[in-house]
Amino acid sequence: MIATIKILWSSLKMAVQELRMNKLRTFLSLLGITIGIFCIIAVFTATNSLESNIRKGLEALGSDVIFIQKWPWDGGPDMPWWKFVNRPQPEYKELRYMTEKTHTVQFAAFAFSSGNKRIDYKSESMEGVEFLPVTEDYIKIQSLKIIGGRYFAGKENDGANVAILGGNIWDGLFGSPEAALGKVIRVAGRPVRVIGVLKKKGSGMDAINYDNTVMVPYAFGKTVVDERLYGDPFITVKAKPGISVKEMKDDLTGVMRAIRRLRPTEEDNFSLNEITSASGNLESIFVKINIGGIIIAMFALIVGGFGIANIMFVTVKERTNIIGLKKAIGARKKVILMEFLLEAIMLCLVGGGLGLLLVYMITLVLNMFDVFPVALTMKNIIIGLSVSTVVGVIAGFIPAWSASKLDPVVAIRST
Does position 70 have pLDDT exceeding 80, yes or no?
yes
* Amino acid letter, 127: E
Alpha-carbon span 135 to 130, nearest angstrom: 16
Average pLDDT of the residues in 133-151? 91
pLDDT of residue 34: 86
Using pLDDT thresholds of 50, 70 and 90, give the confidence band for residue 247.
Answer: very high
Short-list 65, 78, 160, 171, CA closest to 119:
171
Query: By CB neighbour count within 10 A (0-12 exposed, 13-18 middle, 19+ buried), where does 219 fall?
Result: middle
pLDDT of residue 205: 56
Largest CA distance in the chain: 103
Name the residue with higher pLDDT: 112 or 340: 112
pLDDT of residue 415: 57
Q: Which residues contact residue 288 at a Cβ distance below 8 angstroms, ignoring those fewer than 6 apart?
A: none
pLDDT of residue 83: 80
Looking at the chain, the whole-number percentage of residues with pLDDT higher than 90 is 33
Short-list 370, 387, 305, 393, CA closest to 38:
387
Beta bridge partners of 109: 236
CB 83 within 8 A of CB 266: no
pLDDT of residue 341: 85
CA 210 to chain centre: 20
Q: Please, what is the Cα angle at 273 between 57 and 72, to 5 degrees?
A: 110
**Segments of 228-270 assigned E as strands:** 232-239
DSSP letter at 111 equals E
Name the residue with higher pLDDT: 339 or 128: 128
pLDDT in tens, 309-325: 888 888 788 777 877 87
Using pLDDT thresholds of 50, 70 and 90, give the confidence band for residue 115.
Answer: confident
Alpha-carbon span 109 to 388, nearest angstrom: 54
Half-sphere exposure in the Cβ direction for 276 (13 Å, CA) = 9
pLDDT in tens, 4-60: 566 567 666 766 676 677 777 777 777 888 888 888 888 888 888 877 777 776 666
For helices 333-368 and 320-328, the axis angle rounded to 10 degrees is: 130
Short-list 401, 382, 349, CA closest to 19:
349
Alpha-carbon span 156 to 126, nearest angstrom: 25
Does position 261 have pLDDT exceeding 70, yes or no?
yes
For helices 320-328 and 275-318, the axis angle rounded to 10 degrees is: 80
Tell me which long-range contacts 246-252 makes (C-beta under 8 A, separation of at least 24). 247/104, 248/64, 248/66, 248/102, 248/104, 248/105, 249/66, 249/274, 251/102, 251/103, 251/104, 251/105, 252/66, 252/68, 252/98, 252/102, 252/104, 252/105
Lowest mean pLDDT among 28-37, 121-130, 241-250, 360-369: 28-37
CB 349 within 8 A of CB 382: no
Mean pLDDT over the full length of the chain? 84
Does position 229 have pLDDT exceeding 80, yes or no?
no
* Amino acid letter, 102: T
Using pLDDT thresholds of 50, 70 and 90, give the confidence band for residue 370.
Answer: low
Short-list 372, 376, 360, CA closest to 56:
372
pLDDT of residue 366: 84
Does position 220 have pLDDT exceeding 90, yes or no?
yes
What does the DSSP assignment read for 84-146?
TTTSPPP-HHHHHHHHHH-SSEEEEEEEEEEEEEEEEETTEEEEEEEEEEE-TTHHHHS---E
pLDDT of residue 53: 74
CB 14 within 8 A of CB 335: no
pLDDT in tens, 159-211: 899 999 999 999 999 999 999 999 999 998 899 999 999 998 766 556 678 89
What does the DSSP assignment read for 85-96?
TTSPPP-HHHHH
DSSP letter at 319 equals T
Does position 217 have pLDDT exceeding 90, yes or no?
yes
First to last CA, the chain: 36
Q: Which residues contact residue 198 at a Cβ distance below 8 angstroms, ignoring those fewer than 6 apart?
A: 144, 145, 146, 147, 164, 165, 166, 167, 210, 211, 213, 215
For helices 2-21 and 23-61, the axis angle rounded to 10 degrees is: 110
pLDDT of residue 4: 57
Alpha-carbon span 184 to 302, nearest angstrom: 66
pLDDT of residue 167: 92
